[in-house]
Structure 1
């Protein structure tokens, strides 16, 4: 009897399990509703994927346009493409040309493929942003460098009584290196800062007479010697074109003039490398007003 009871129990359990595993059957109306919903979902997904693909194409076109613009701006700005950092950045920012997205591209139509392309475009946009930031930095540094260069004429008298280089010293009669330019100008004529900077010397210096020295940063300095008077003091910050002194003949000099020097890390440079082209004359010429003093025939 116990064995029979166990057999009956097993058969009953199997029957109940079979009944529970039977899937409920759907009537035709339910099947139609589910099919229509699936169709609508599929159409919605396809529509959004198509819109996403179109936006990907638009972004690619804009990136190509930005890449061309950045190269044109760099070309106009004179930024050399041979610079290793700039060249590397430009190569990274290059956008591949893609005119269309079709079924032939397979995964490109899928959400996963479009997501990958969007990630790639995001990286390319970041590279373009970095490139423009680098270009802005280069232009800013260039503007700052150019602003520091002593390009402003220190006097309004462009005639030179002595140029940069070896010459016979008018005082000692010996040949010596003349480390600046001598501008023929009447006593009292204003002397201007050739560039902005900080006044590091404003005092009498043997040989130079009353001297103004201005530091323009990065080891670049200018000197203005033989002044009759000085209107700035050590530590003053001056702007390009600001009056700093007046022409004179103090120190070792044979006549009223301005001795102008440009030095880099202590070494004398030819000021004509920075100033507009000057005219060297054998005889001094001065556009002096009626009240200005005459200029001597020789100056140092």
Structure 2
């Protein structure tokens, strides 16, 4: 009985074999799974390695495109800056022309052609208007350029008009300057009239072709109108003489001067000092012998001196 019991307690050989086989199969399955995983990982890495150059190419394309866009933007900025520089130069030229027009306008005011209370060329033009509800808009480069062109055309027109008026004004001023009027002295009195008189040296009746204006020795003798000096120096009977041509056949003479302040060919202005009163030549004392000639013939200077009082 004892022997049989011991033999019954041992495991069957078949069962032990089956357990070992299952263990071996399990280990093999694990190995296969590991091999499959490694193969899948290797294939994935290989696949990524194939796709990587394609992604780099796309990146390169994007970089090239960005560089092109950046270059285009830089060119646009350069073009815009060039247009701004051109408009700045045009505005600078317009500003210079406006300054010249202001000078011309101020000369008109000073000449009396326009009312200085109505026109003030040193201040901006008065403008205004009600506020609009629409939002304000900034000027674009084309519209701003067009506006500048319109202003330039208006400036051309105004400049031509003002230059014409300037010529007329200066012609008027020249006519006024050439207009013979007033006395050739600052202070003094009429000592001998125009026409026949008793000669102070011979006592006989002789013709006196001008007027004598007595005054202080060395006092100023002034031109009664603008003109060109045609004589400056000594002349028989006149002593030191200044002769001025004023145009339109008018000539004035200033004789017996102590000293002459101008020379032949000088342009003199109205009221300019041309000599100093004296008693040179055929004279009895300090005075100026004043003559006015019209086309070579003497005329009474009193009517020209009287013009200044009207």
TM-score (norm 1): 0.45
TM-score (norm 2): 0.43
More helix by share: 2
Query: Using CA pairs below 8 Å that are at least 6 residues apart, which structure has the higher relative contact order?
Result: 1
Pair member with larger Rg: 2
